[in-house]
Amino acid sequence: MNRREFLCLGAACLLGVADGQKIVEASYYEPMIYKRFFQFTEYEERPVTDALVIHHTGFPDVDKDSTAAAIHKFHQEERKWAGIGYHYLIRKDGMIEQGRRPRAIGAHALGHNKHSLGICLAGNFEIGKPTEAQMDSVKELCRWLCKKYGLDPMEKGVIVGHRDLNDTLCPGKNLYRRLGEIRRFCV
Ligand SMILES: [Zn+2]
């Protein structure tokens, strides 16, 4: 081995280690979540967390972006809930906004709010498709939440679509069929 080959080999090894560490550490990092500090009319802590429920906003006949602030206003004023029902909203550009406080009981899946987190992607995925930026964000978020709460993403009932729990089309066929991809990413 000449000196040049030795140096290349050394650099490759170093890169490999650095890359490996980065990947391992990254899976434990909280993704960038934009905190919104909404005011809620009630707050009750969730006793357990054993499921992540995936939703779409599902406005009728239109696949459009929404803000957490707009959903908060809608859920509070129209639905008369404590505030936004979802814990996280993922915008079309991939931005993750915090909705309800992470430890609070949400309002997103009837009969399952006391043990689950609600993650909503902006859009109507019966009509449109989630953007790749949204898919990247939902994968990162679910992977981090599985680590945080000690959940096995491949276990039945851990990462589910809203329609697995209630009589609804949510999160739309074009997102529902990609739930397996999300689960595998989280492993
Ligand atoms: Zn839903």
Position 25 pLDDT exceeds 70: no
**How many Å apart are CA 54 and CA 170, to the nearest integer?**
8
What's the 14 CA to ligand 1 centre distance in angstroms? 46
What's the 102 CA to ligand 1 centre distance in angstroms? 17
**Helix ranges restricted to H, the chain:** 3-26, 68-77, 132-149, 173-176, 179-186
Average pLDDT over every residue of 90-105? 97
Return the domain boundaries, the chain: 1-30, 33-186
pLDDT for position 72: 98
What's the 54 CA to ligand 1 centre distance in angstroms? 7
**60-80 pLDDT tens trace:** 999 999 999 999 999 999 999
Angle (CA) 45 168 174, round 5°: 105
pLDDT for position 85: 98
What's the 55 CA to ligand 1 centre distance in angstroms? 4
Assign a CATH topology to domain 33-186: Lysozyme-like (3.40.80)
pLDDT for position 11: 39
Position 187 pLDDT exceeds 70: yes
Average pLDDT over every residue of 46-59? 97
Average pLDDT over every residue of 139-163? 97
pLDDT for position 28: 62
Nearest by Cα to 108 from 59, 163, 154, 159: 163
User: Is residue 29 very low, low, confident or very high in pLDDT (cuts 50, 70, 90)?
Assistant: confident
What's the 108 CA to ligand 1 centre distance in angstroms? 6
